[in-house]
């Protein structure tokens, strides 16, 4: 069994006994077979001694059990790694940052506590997937829409705190979060925003509460275990248009982005994602074809038609542009939509991109020039490693910046591919840092490099995070190293 640094076999065995007493012996997993399910199948360190292996996994069934687990971990100094559904593919999967961590698997905490149709929100536990929430709404015939990531098996809580993205009306998940309940590293239970007012009817309706707004401290974070989250939903639109704008030439990405920007800023587009046409295969920018933009229009009958007409007029400036649209009206039948339409309608699917890879996702200014520059500077680096730039999508979930994940292939069994991936991702992060981009999110293996880019004033931001980390988690038990934030006992020595 993989031991956490600084712990003896006997310490770990005693801790596991106490975890068993807290959550039930049947919810403590230590066999190799079980542990294998908590390793990262998309891990670029796979097959090397640095691949993080958990010592055990435990599955608490309630908030009280999570609190007990945290207190026991403090007593024995056991590092914990929290997952909700554990499907974080491309960003670390269910695996911890530090070998020997005990994975706290929150899948059993899967209650949908409230779905409010009048105010369009939901309050859910960590184990609730997008499939669960969608099914719950459909079964009750509630007139609400959700949005989700490519695979509906992901957790609403995890995708929200990790700032995942969807392609429908609520694509910037964290933006639509409202109110949290959090177990702090010492086992204390806290509610944020209006949830701190006992009996408040507006916990999921008003984000800011009173005093400093702290919810962000629990996003991309290792100072709390989120046990409930509020998420805003969208009222079912009476009409939905599923639209595609295709441009024929590779260089058309520049006007495509520049025309999209003002449309997005004016809310004439509320969502969009731009894709290269040959997903799933490495692309060669030198001889690629064009791009397509997925857009949905959601709303009142005449309004959506006018919006779509206006948007077509704007894109018509690109020679050879083509438009496609399908119109759907409520009540919706997911069976009538193709996969393209279903994603735009936020209907969870089983989609993946059909490859095994990790992402390096720079945050770019919303200009065609910035995208063009990124593609070519990244492609030059890919070529140094015998590959060509491979972009997954350009996410337009905000109106002022773009997130453009570059994909780097990895392999389950070929260490050469993974060695290349590690070196290439490191180089891409260096390039992103040099250009001032930073990255939006990254798989666990590269979190230190990604955080190092945020270095203003001798790393004041990271020093602030570390001050909070040490104050709230003095034993450094919660997800050490997550997002490059280490507790003092690891600092300088890292994993």
Residues annotated as catalytic (active site), given as ranges: 91, 440-441
Among 132, 147, 162, 379, binds ligand ADP (CB under 6 A): 162
As measured in angstroms, the least distance from the Cβ of 40 to ligand ADP is: 10
For residue 62, the Cα-to-chain-centroid distance in whole angstroms is 24
Min. distance of Cβ 51 from ligand ADP in angstroms?
16
Report the C-alpha gap between 232 and 122 in whole angstroms: 6
Of the two residues 103 and 295, which places its CB atom closer to ligand ADP in the complex? 103
CB of 474 to ligand ADP, least distance (A): 19
> By CB neighbour count within 10 A (0-12 exposed, 13-18 middle, 19+ buried), where does 284 fall?
middle
Smallest gap from Cβ 82 to ligand ADP, in A, equals 5
Question: For ligand ADP, which is the closer residue by CB, 374 or 495?
Answer: 495
Is the Cβ–Cβ distance between 433 and 184 less than 8 Å?
Answer: no
Minimum CB–partner distance for residue 330 and ligand ADP (Å): 29
Cβ at position 294, least distance to ligand ADP in Å: 22
Q: What is the sign of the dihedral through the CA atoms of 389, 390, 393 and 398?
A: negative
- Number of residues interacting with ligand ADP: please give it, by CB under 6 A: 21
Query: Applying CB under 6 A, does 230 fall inside the site for ligand ADP?
Result: no
Residue 193 binds ligand ADP, judged by CB under 6 A: no
Q: Which of residues 396-425 bind ligand ADP (CB under 6 A)?
A: none
> 62 vs 377, which CB is nearer to ligand ADP?
62
> Does 161 contact ligand ADP by CB under 6 A?
yes
Binding segment toward ligand ADP, per CB under 6 A, in 11-19, 155-163, 240-248, 431-439: 155-163
Of 158 and 241, nearer to ligand ADP (C-beta) is: 158
Pattern of binders to ligand ADP over 64-93, x per CB under 6 A? ------------------xxxxxxx---x-
Q: Which is nearer to ligand ADP, 79 or 92 (CB)?
A: 92
Task: Pick one of 154, 185, 195, 487: the residue that binds ligand ADP (CB under 6 A).
Answer: 154
Count other Cβ atoms within 10 Å, centred on residue 184: 17
- Contact call for residue 94 and ligand ADP (CB under 6 A): yes
Residues that bind ligand ADP (CB under 6 A): 82-88, 92, 94, 106, 126, 154-155, 157-159, 161-162, 225-226, 482
């Amino acid at each position: 069994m993989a031991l956490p640094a600084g712990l003896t076999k006997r310490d770990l065995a005693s801790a596991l006994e106490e975890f068993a007493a807290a959550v039930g012996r049947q919810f403590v997993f230590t066999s190799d077979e079980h542990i294998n399910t908590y390793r990262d199948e998309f891990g670029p360190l796979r097959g090397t001694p640095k691949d993080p292996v958990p010592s055990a996994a435990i599955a608490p069934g309630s908030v009280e059990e999570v609190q007990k687990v945290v207190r026991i971990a403090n007593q024995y100094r056991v590092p914990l790694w929290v997952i909700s559904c554990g499907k974080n593919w491309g960003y670390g999967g269910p695996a911890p940052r530090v070998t020997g961590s005990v994975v706290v698997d929150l899948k059993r905490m899967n209650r949908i506590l409230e779905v409010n149709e009048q105010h369009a929100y939901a309050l859910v536990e960590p184990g609730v997937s997008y499939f669960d929430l969608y099914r719950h709404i459909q079964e009750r015939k509630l007139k609400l829409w959700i949005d989700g990531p490519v695979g509906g098996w992901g957790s609403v809580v995890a995708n929200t705190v990790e700032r995942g993205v969807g392609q429908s009306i609520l694509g910037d998940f964290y933006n639509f979060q409202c109110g949290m309940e959090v177990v702090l590293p010492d086992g204390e239970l806290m509610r944020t925003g209006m949830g701190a007012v006992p009996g408040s009817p507006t916990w999921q309706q008003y984000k800011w509460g009173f005093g400093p707004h702290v919810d962000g401290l629990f996003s991309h974070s290792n100072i709390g275990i989120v046990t409930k989250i509020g998420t805003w939903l969208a009222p079912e639109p009476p009409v939905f248009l599923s639209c595609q704008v295709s441009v024929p030439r590779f260089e058309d990405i520049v006007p495509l982005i520049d025309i999209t920007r003002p449309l997005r800023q004016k809310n004439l587009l509320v969502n969009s994602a731009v894709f290269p046409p040959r997903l799933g295969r490495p692309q060669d920018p030198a001889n690629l074809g064009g791009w397509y933009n997925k857009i949905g229009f959601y709303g009142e009958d005449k309004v959506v038609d006018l919006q779509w007409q206006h948007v077509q007029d704007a894109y018509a400036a690109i020679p050879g542009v083509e438009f496609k649209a399908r119109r759907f009206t409520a009540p919706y039948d997911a069976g009538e939509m193709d996969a393209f339409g279903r994603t735009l309608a936020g209907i969870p699917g089983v989609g993946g991109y059909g490859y095994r890879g990790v992402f390096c996702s720079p945050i770019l200014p919303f200009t065609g020039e910035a995208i063009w520059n990124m593609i070519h500077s990244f492609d030059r680096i890919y070529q140094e490693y015998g590959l060509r730039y491979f972009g997954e999508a350009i996410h337009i979930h905000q109106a002022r910046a773009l997130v453009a994940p570059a994909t780097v292939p990895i392999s389950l069994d070929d260490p050469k591919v993974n060695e290349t991936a590690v070196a290439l991702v490191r180089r891409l992060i260096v390039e992103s840092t040099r250009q001032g981009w930073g990255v939006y999110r990254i798989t666990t293996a590269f979190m230190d490099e990604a955080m190092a880019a945020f270095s203003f004033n001798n790393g004041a931001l990271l020093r602030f995070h570390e001050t909070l980390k040490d104050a709230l988690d003095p034993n450094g038990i919660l997800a050490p190293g997550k997002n490059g934030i280490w507790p003092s006992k690891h600092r300088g020595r890292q994993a």
